[in-house]
Structure formats: C-alpha cells, structure tokens
Structure 1
Amino acid sequence: MPISGSTGRRRTALAVAAAAALFGSMALPATAEAHGHGQDKPKYEDLQLLAINDLHGNLEPPAGSSGAVNEIDPATGKVVATPAGGVEYLATSLRDARKGHPNSVTVAAGDIIGASPLISGLFHDEPTIEAMNKIGLDVTSVGNHEFDEGSAELLRMQKGGCHPTDGCYEEGRTFEGAEFPYLAANVTNEKTGKPLLKPYWVKNVRGVKVGFIGVTLEGTPNIVTAAGVQGLKFGNEVETINKYTAELKRQGVNSVVALIHEGGLPASNVYNYDCGAGGSGISGPIVDIAKRLDPAVGAIVTGHTHNSYACMIPDPNGVPRSVTSAASFGRLYTEIDLKLDKRTGSIVRPSVTAANHIVRRDVAKAPDMTTLIDRYRQLSAPIANRAVGYITADINGRGSTDLEKPLGDLIADAQLAGLAPADKGGAQVAFMNPGGIRSDLVYKASGSEGDGVVTYGEAFTVQPFTNMMQVKTLTGAQLIQVLQQQVSGSNEAAPKILQISGNLAYTLDLNKAGAARVLVDSVRLNGAPVDPAASYRVAANEFLAGGGDGFPAFAAGTDKLVGASDLDLFNAYLSGHSTATAPIAPPVQNRIKVIGVGQDAS
C-alpha cells in the first residue's frame, strides 16, 4: 500500500522526566533509563485524529430533532438540545481544531453518503464527496449505505466520472471522485476473493508509519437491498482487522487505527458520554469486537448506530483502549490525541485521549462550503421547492424515541392507500421499516415556502431510497410471524418495531422475552382477529419484502406485484390528503399498545 509523505514541522522530543510523569507506570526503554549517562532521549510524535461518521449527505443543517445534540446545561444541570450540524459549520470546526497540530489526520467510519437529503441525493451524492474533498477528509471506511446503489456506483464515487444514466449535472464539469481512499478490508469479490477497494492506508507521520484499516459491519447484506451487494462477500470484522494488522506489522507498520462501521448503544444520550469504568456503560456489537481486536490497534473509530460516546473498552489483554463515535449527520466530531513512539513505531496506548465536540452553529460558515451548497441548491431548486403537502405541526420520525412513530404511521398509511386498489396490488395492510425513516417533517419553514408546507425536498429527505413497493400474499400465520420477528431471532437483542397502517393493532409486552412479546390474541386487522389459515395482501418496500432487517417471513410471500416507489406514494398521499386550509395533523399513536419500558432500536 502507498505511504504518504510526512507533514508539518518537527516537534521537540519529550524529556525523560516528562514522559515518565505523563505515562505513569508505563515501562520506558533502556535508552531512557540510561539518560543520565549521555544516551539519546526517547522521542515521541504527537498525532491528532479528527473523526466523523454517518454524515449521510447532510450538507445543510439537519432539520428538527435530527439537527440537535443533547448536552448538560452547566447552569441548570439539566439535559438540553443544542442545534448542531451543517457542513459549513463542520468545515470551520475541523479547520479550527487542526490549528496548532502539525500532525493531523481526518478520518471517517462510513456512511458518509447514502440515505441523503435531496441536495446531495438528487446528484447521487457527488456534492458530498466534493465537500469531503474540500473539508480535508484523509481516509474513510465504507459503511452499509455506501452500497445503496451498488458496488459499481461506489467505485465511481472513488474514481470519478459522470453517472452512467444521468450523465454530468453541469456542462463542462466532470465529477472527479474522492481525493481520499475508501477502505473496504472485509468486502471481497465472491468470485476472485479480492478486496473491492483498498483494505488499508498508511500515513507517514514524521518517520512513524500509521496504518488505517477500514471495515463495514459483517451484516451489511441484511440491511441493504440484494442488488446493492450482488457479487460481494462481507467478512468478519475482527478476523479481517487482525489479519491486516499482522500484515501491516510485517511491513514495519506498528501503529494501527481501526475504522469500523459498526457501533454500540451507550447508556446515556448526552454527547460526551464516557461509558464509565471498563466500558460498562455501553452495549452492542462494538463491545465484543473491541475486546477481540489485536492489542496493536491503538484506537478504534466507529459508527453505524448514530450514537455518541468516547469510551475505554479493554483489549484482549484487559488494557483499556479508546473506542469512539461522533453521532451522525455532522453534528459532532471526535478529537483523538495520541503519541507515537519514534523508536518502536507504535502508538503509546496510555497517551490516547478522546473527546467529542459539538459542531455548533454559532461559528463562522466556511465560504467554500457555502459556495458548494448554493451551487447545488440552485440546480435542485425547481424540484426541491415544489410544495407537496401541508401539516399542522411537527410529525416526528427519525427524531421520535417512541416505538410507534407518528411519521411511521403516516408513511404506512400512505403505502396502504396507494396500493389498496385492486389494480395496484390489493393491499390490505402495510408495513414500514423504522430505519428507512430518515428524518422528521418539520412545521417551521426552513426556506421561503412558509410554515406547515411540506416540499418535495423535505419529503425526499424522509424517504430518500426511492425503494420500489411490493405487494405479496402472506398467510395469517406468516403475518403474525412478521410481528414476532420484530423482537426475536436477529432482532431479539435490538428490536426493530415496524410501523404499521392504521387498520392493524396489537399489544407488545416488553416484560416477556423473544416472540412471546407479541400477544398473538391481541392482533387485529380491521378490528377482527387475524386468521392463521387465511391469506392477506401485504405491502412493504422491496428491502423489507425481500426479508431485510431480519424479517424472513416477508420473503416467503407469494404473488408479488411491484408498485410505485415509496417516495412517490408518500408524495401522492400528502398531495391528496392535505391542502393549505386542511393540513394533516400528526397521527395519534394508538396502533401498538406497549407494556413495559422499551428502547427505540430503529
């Protein structure tokens, strides 16, 4: 793998006494012990890492609760929501953070693109790649959303070129691709076994080689449409990182940082939560991964769960190691400071410190980001600013902490309404996966459209995948299995509660375990019990209908009919069920009766 040149001016080596004070009980090399006899002092290089994850093309400040970060008000001690995010402010924050740090590397842990708002998604995320080039991103791992449009499109994001069907968006301008490497160490071609993209990248920091290994979660095929991952194999995160750590060490690269698009669930949603002693305050897949990674990995940057944390989780030897995540949508960045031993080439683990910082909107906007946003805003304006509906108040989706989300109800109702006609599939009930709801519908106008107006751009931000809808026949028994699979199988530890159309109702008892949490006798469709032997026409998007998100019962359906896209049905419902004088109110959340206390795991 290529090694980049070192940057910045040389810092003065630390004195032995200072190193001993800083590193406490850490054993010092023999040359350090002999310092008083004229031997050379040990030398260290400072390295600053600035990390982001799960940007999802949010160039403009995210709206509603998706654009806020929870922090503790020092005056009151209470948790408050602080507006955050927007690439104009992110660029300024990162550039300010680099000042005084001659050795600084900016990294990301995947999902930089995909599920993006219209200003980026309309142009297949070229604007976000251009923004990351300007912002100084040095390297990123792939995430599951980098595969939303398939591997060929991901390779175009890396290498550049005009879109194969849409072409170039401006005359005389060709998309140049990412100036930073995408890393996909555990993504290989099924036939050749070769990595789709580079597995790692090496940075030369004033003579010390630092390797960055990038992986996405092994379960990516379960949360991406089949077409997006066709022909690819996704390997185990731990096995892959340990394999390439060993390879890097054979090349003399003893400092390793892992960029992992997989994450954890912290006990607190405050942005700077530190997870407590030994990482006791965090759960989820990243905990097991971190505990099994080679101790030579000096720091772990994570993503995927959209949570924020700066934790110390023990490695296989029981030694604490930094594991971080910067929430999502560019609302935070993580600053990780570490020292490199110039003689051993390794990261001095006791030196590693990490903290999340809010991307506050009270700093100056970066002019180059403003120019980029204005350019794409102008190109998208004829589509983005068209009114498609009207609402009376915020209708929360992504920002809702409830298992049944108001916006989820609205989307499911829209899907049922559009697919109920006999010639459209004859749907009798509709299901929506919670992870597919990417934002909220916000009453307060973000532009000139006026309060309560829903624009095409806002609807696109909620439903950016443009998944095609399907209607299938399921037996009543299979329909009940769908409900049970929300809280059992692969979803037992982190339930995925489907959003349902208003004619379906049931009780969810979270005091029970597994499939028993769904009280079968409570399931009612149009007020009547579901007959296990009867047949029902069920609507869902192509991802869910194919068994994605851990719902194999959907894949067993028959008599498939492909309908319009989820976005088209959503827009049609908004247009057909609201006017300026008769707007839509947030749906009443009365479809799922919840017993016990649950965690929103969408």
Structure 2
Amino acid sequence: MISRFRPALALLLSGCLGACAAPMAEGGHGEPVEVGIVAINDFHGALEPPRQSVNVTDAAGNILPVPAGGAAWLASAVDSVRAAHPHSLTVSAGDMISASQLASSLYLDEPAIGVMNRIGVDFNAVGNHEFDRGQDELLRMQNGGCEKFTARQPCALEPFAGATFRYLAASTRRADGSTLFPATGLRTFGSGRRAVTVGVIGLTLKGTPNLVNPTGIKGLTFEDEADTINAAVPVLKAKGADAIVVLIHEGGRTKGNPDPQGCNDFAGDIRPILDRLDTRVDVVVSGHTHWAYVCDYAALNPAKPILLTSAGVFGELVTDISLKIDPVAGRVVSKQARNVIVQSVPYTATRGPISNTPLFPQFQPRADVAAYVAKYVEASKEYTQRPVGRIDRAAPKNEGAEGGAGGPLGNLIADAQLGATRDAGAQIAFMNPFGIRAPLVPAADGTLTFGDIYLCQPFGNNVVTETMTGAEIKAVLEEGLDDNGPRQALAPSTGFEFRYDPARTSGDRIVSITLDGQPLDMTRTYRVTVNGFLGLGGDGFSGFVGKPDTVTGPTDIDALESWIKAVPVRNVPQEVRALVVKG
C-alpha cells in the first residue's frame, strides 16, 4: 500500500465503523481471542480489473469513483487484511465462478478456482451461478479432473486439480437426503485453554431453481434458508463452536449516497431470513445482490444481534471482520467489520477517465497471481481481441437506483435479439437489465472487440422465440415491476414502448403499451424473443415459461455481434422505451 486515509475521510469512516460494530458484554476470564474473518462474494471469475469502480461519498458529500478489482490486486488486499489478525479464516459467499470474464469462462472457470487456491480461501458457499454448467461440472470444480460435462474441453491449458478450499451447501440436497457438499465446517485457532473454534454454515438461496437451467439441477432440492441455518447451529455448538459464521448467497441493498461501510434503509430478500435466525448466529456474510454494506442488524431488529456484511462484486472489496471470542465462556464478546476497497488501476469509463485517489490505499498486484492470470489472458487473446464492429458512442450499463432499467444498452441488446430472430417470426424482443454485466466502451474509432461484448453478456444463453398474447405480455411486464424482489423494467426492442406508474398497486402498474405506435391488442398473439434464461422463468419472470411454438435461435452474444457488424457503424438507440409516469 502506498498511501493512507486522509484525516477527514478517516474520521467519517471510523464513525461508521463504531456504529456498525456490535459489541457484547465481556463475560470470560482473561483476554478474549481475536479471529479475523476475511470475506468476499460474487467474484464471478474477474481475473482482470473489471473496469468498474467502488463509489464512495467523500467528506464534502461528493460521490467519488474508486477504480477497483483484479485478482492479483485482490490477493494483495486479502494478504493485507489477513496480516492484521493473529488468526484468520478466509471465506466466500458464492458465485465465485460463471458469468465470468472471457479468460476465465473459456477455460470453464478453472483459472478462477486456481486464483482462489492461491489467495487461500478456506470455505465457499455455493451460489446460484455455481450451477450454471450443472451439478456434475460443479463437483469437478471441487474434486478436479478433466472429465467433460460441457461443450467446452476441460483442462485445455493445463491439468486441473480442483479447489483446495471446501464448498459448503447446507440447503442443497440430493434425492437421498444428503447434501451436495458438506453443510458446515469448523476451524480451531490457538491451543489449550486459549483455543477457540469458529463454525461455518454455507448455503445458497432457496430461489436458485428460478435462476438456473433446470437440467443442471435435476434431482436437487433447495431448502428454506432460515430452517437450514437453525438446524445447523446446535450441531456446530455441540461440536465445540464458540462462534457461528453463516455464508449465504442472498442479500439486500441500501439506499442513499454510496457507502460501502453503511446500512442506510437496508432492504432485501435476506431480511426475513435474518429475522428468523437462531440468536447464536454471530456473523452473516452475504452476496447475490452485488451490493456492498456493513450492518449491525440489531439496529434493525434488536432481537437479532447479527453482524451482516457484503463485499459487493468482482473482487472490488474485501470485508475485514474482527471477532473477539471469550475462550472460557465459549462466545463472541465483540464483533466489527469494514469493507476495504481493492483500489487497483485507472481505466476509461463511459463517462470518461477514472483515476486513482490517495484517499484510499492503492494495492500492488501480487506477482504469483498476476503471472498465473497472465497465462490465461494471453491464451484467450485470439478471442478477446478480435474486432466485431463499431458503435457510434459508448453504451453505459445502468447502475444504482437505475440498475433495474435497461437504458440504451438494454435497447441495443433487445434490438440485436429481435434482428437475429426475425426469421422465426419475432415481432418483439425483451432484455432483462440484471442480465447486463458491463457497459460497451469502444475504442476511439468506435471499434468493439469480442472481449468487449463478452464482458457485457458472458452467459452464452441461446435466444428463444415464442408465442404470447398481448395480455400475457402485459402480465410478464407487471412481474418485473411487482413487489416480489427488486424491480426490473424489461428493455424492449425498437417500436415497443410501455409506460408504468410505480405508485400504483402491485400487478397493475402498467399504464399503456404500444407497438409501432398502436396500442397492444390484449387478445392478439405476438412472436416474442427473450434469452433462454428468461424463457425458463429466470429473474422471476414466470410468464415466459411454457409458451407454444418455441424456436431456439443463436446465442445472445452471437446475436449482438451479428447486429453490430451488420452495418458500418451501429447507432446505440437513445430513446426511452420504458417510461416512468406519475398519476
């Protein structure tokens, strides 16, 4: 690290940390034993700096983007946090793999596992994306080997030994009742009367079947999160656990100015889970929403004195959690956490250059991880550097409060999928904003590479065209805007426009829908194209499931490439197609 916090900002953050800490009364004999929990989540195979920022609010109230991420920089940040604790455990709350950068995805995320082995992760909870290539391939991630379960060839660059860390899957059960991976883990620190044991429970969200291809999870069930955790707590306590840490791939979001240390107006699907937990749970490391926060949950529910954390996404943050454990009483007597920004290298965003700042430490890449990543990046260049065409301007990815709307980039993708499926009769296409992973930032002459568009859409979903009535289209748009989970206004293709009022009753928020300037006929049928994830009900859009006359088309990324290269310069559509109205 080459710089330190400025006093004003340090004071701001130290105030937050005091508020976020959840101290408990001292009750043991002698000094407590301190254990550090070093936590990440949603790494998504981000081997290289992801060209994204952690946004913070400085002492003057200005929003400051801090360039962050990259596996080699993450390794240095983890080492820095780990070195500050006499004992430590390094954990991940899921989605370590899949929806990954091309250099990782081309090689079935073997390098993502290799990075985490080198960083020294101890436990990783399975997330929904761990199942993207099916359970057999996920088991290969743990156990290693070169058996082929996907279209791509495993061990293409070198033999794959598997994860040296342990996957945990407490709520994921096979037909015989056994868990796909162990439910829990234990780690003991110190010796004799000063020995303390940390118990870890790892699990994914119950809604995983709505988020992955059902063929990949055939025979598996995903049980209630709170029931699963509560059943595991007494088992771990009986085995001597003095502290209980939960790694869960579910989360929430805060509101207001960006604050990776804060918990302002915290809401999300994890709250009802936390409200039901055994009070012996000390820490919950969460994920899934790609949001950063540190919450003293007792401030939201005094009956649940839980420390709740999330480190955002793509290795841009590391959560530094400190537990002080009374070895005689066998319990945690204080706990606190902070999110450390993995400040790495500057980059150019759609809004211009993003520079480093001396307000936060800047990490240097760890040499061994950098060399390992470079090997895979070099091997993937044939794919990543191939030009695919030109666009007239950058296409930003909506973030923050606007993250549930597709914007110009969502429109561009929807147009591409419509164009790719006209021969299947497509009249309308929709893109889910949460499925857009990165902006399209062209070179100075407008050129995009395959690597650029892959960062935007790394899933490899085929697009599907199906028949829906106007009433069914309205109903599926309402699903995206209802009160069940975060709202998504589907990005429609050219000629389609809808208006909605968020203040209206859930299920009745659509005010108007037009196609080519005419009201959508609720009784007429239309041919509609979506990606295969949505076609299977992903992101809660059940209205796309099981429709007649389904035709499978090209992959989403092939559709986007073909659309961009079809003209000398593709214009990024700027019109607003999903409009918010009031009254």
Same fold (TM over 0.5): yes
User: How far apart, CA to CA, are the structure 2 residues paired with 1:124 and 1:310?
Assistant: 32
Mapping of residues 575-586 of structure 1, within 5 Å: 575-577=565-567, 579=568, 583-586=569-572
User: How far apart, CA to CA, are the structure 1 residues paired with 2:281 and 2:332?
Assistant: 8
Whether the 8 Å contact between 2:76 and 2:363 is mirrored in structure 1 is yes
User: How far apart, CA to CA, are the structure 2 residues paired with 1:211 and 1:23?
Assistant: 19
1:510 to 490, 499, 502: 502
Mapping of residues 166-185 of structure 1, within 5 Å: 166-170=152-156, 173-185=158-170
Q: Deviations over 1:169-221 (max 9, x none)?
A: 456x31011110011100011x2111000111110111222111001111111
Which one-letter code corresponds to 2:160 in the other structure? F
Residue 296 of structure 1 pairs with residue 280 of structure 2: yes
Residue 466 of structure 1 pairs with residue 460 of structure 2: yes
Are the structure 2 counterparts of residues 112 and 271 from structure 1 closer, same or farther at C-alpha, using a change threshold of 3 Å?
farther
User: How far apart, CA to CA, are the structure 2 residues paired with 1:451 and 1:49?
Assistant: 46
Whether the 8 Å contact between 1:69 and 1:271 is mirrored in structure 2 is no
Are the structure 2 counterparts of residues 24 and 265 from structure 1 closer, same or farther at C-alpha, using a change threshold of 3 Å?
closer
**Unaligned segments of structure 1, at least 5 residues:** 1-21, 30-40, 598-602
1:358 to 308, 317, 341: 341
Mapping of residues 167-316 of structure 1, within 5 Å: 167-170=153-156, 173-189=158-174, 191-206=175-190, 207-268=195-256, 270-275=258-263, 281-314=265-298
2:315 alignment partner, SS class: coil
User: How far apart, CA to CA, are the structure 2 residues paired with 1:356 and 1:595?
Assistant: 37
- Tell me how far 1:394 sits from its aligned partner: 1.9
1:134: which partner in 2? 118
1:532 to 522, 534, 544: 522
Which one-letter code corresponds to 2:328 in the other structure? R
1:111: which partner in 2? 95
Q: Deviations over 1:204-263 (max 9, x none)?
A: 111222111001111111112222322210011110011011111122223210001110
1:558 alignment partner, SS class: coil
1:323: which partner in 2? 308
Q: Deviations over 1:117-176 (max 9, x none)?
A: 1011111111110000001111111111111111111111111112505434456x3101
Q: Deviations over 1:528-562 (max 9, x none)?
A: 22222211111111221122222222114101111
User: How far apart, CA to CA, are the structure 1 residues paired with 2:180 and 2:23?
Assistant: 43
Which one-letter code corresponds to 2:393 in the other structure? A
User: How far apart, CA to CA, are the structure 1 residues paired with 2:22 and 2:384?
Assistant: 55
2:331 alignment partner, SS class: coil
1:551: which partner in 2? 541
Whether the 8 Å contact between 2:168 and 2:182 is mirrored in structure 1 is yes
1:440: which partner in 2? 439
Superposed CA RMSD in Å reads: 2.1
1:8: which partner in 2? none
1:148: which partner in 2? 132
- Tell me how far 1:391 sits from its aligned partner: 2.1
- Tell me how far 1:393 sits from its aligned partner: 2.5
Whether the 8 Å contact between 1:398 and 1:439 is mirrored in structure 2 is no
- Tell me how far 1:291 sits from its aligned partner: 2.2
Whether the 8 Å contact between 1:399 and 1:440 is mirrored in structure 2 is no
User: How far apart, CA to CA, are the structure 2 residues paired with 1:154 and 1:177?
Assistant: 10
1:481: which partner in 2? 475
- Tell me how far 1:24 sits from its aligned partner: 8.2
2:332 alignment partner, SS class: coil
1:59: which partner in 2? 47
Residue 46 of structure 1 pairs with residue 34 of structure 2: yes
Are the structure 2 counterparts of residues 174 and 23 from structure 1 closer, same or farther at C-alpha, using a change threshold of 3 Å?
closer
Which one-letter code corresponds to 2:550 in the other structure? K
**TM superposition score normalised by structure 1:** 0.85
Residue 457 of structure 1 pairs with residue 451 of structure 2: yes
- Tell me how far 1:483 sits from its aligned partner: 1.6
- Tell me how far 1:271 sits from its aligned partner: 3.5
Mapping of residues 332-343 of structure 1, within 5 Å: 332-343=317-328
Whether the 8 Å contact between 2:57 and 2:257 is mirrored in structure 1 is no
1:203 alignment partner, SS class: strand
2:369: which partner in 1? 369
- Tell me how far 1:465 sits from its aligned partner: 1.1
User: How far apart, CA to CA, are the structure 2 residues paired with 1:420 and 1:24?
Assistant: 61
User: How far apart, CA to CA, are the structure 2 residues paired with 1:137 and 1:23?
Assistant: 25
- Tell me how far 1:364 sits from its aligned partner: 1.5
Residue 500 of structure 1 pairs with residue 492 of structure 2: yes
Which one-letter code corresponds to 1:360 in the other structure? Q
1:355 alignment partner, SS class: strand
2:256 alignment partner, SS class: coil
Which one-letter code corresponds to 2:164 in the other structure? E
User: How far apart, CA to CA, are the structure 2 residues paired with 1:25 and 1:515?
Assistant: 44
Whether the 8 Å contact between 1:263 and 1:286 is mirrored in structure 2 is yes
Which range moves more in the overlay, 407-416 or 98-107? 98-107
1:420: which partner in 2? 422
Whether the 8 Å contact between 1:118 and 1:464 is mirrored in structure 2 is yes
2:458 alignment partner, SS class: coil
Which one-letter code corresponds to 1:459 in the other structure? I
- Equivalent pairs counted in the alignment come to 537
- Tell me how far 1:288 sits from its aligned partner: 2.0
Whether the 8 Å contact between 2:171 and 2:225 is mirrored in structure 1 is yes
**Unaligned segments of structure 2, at least 5 residues:** 1-20, 345-361
Task: Considering Cα pairs closer than 8 Å and 6+ residues apart, tell me whether 1 or 2 has the greater RCO.
Answer: 2
Whether the 8 Å contact between 2:293 and 2:311 is mirrored in structure 1 is yes
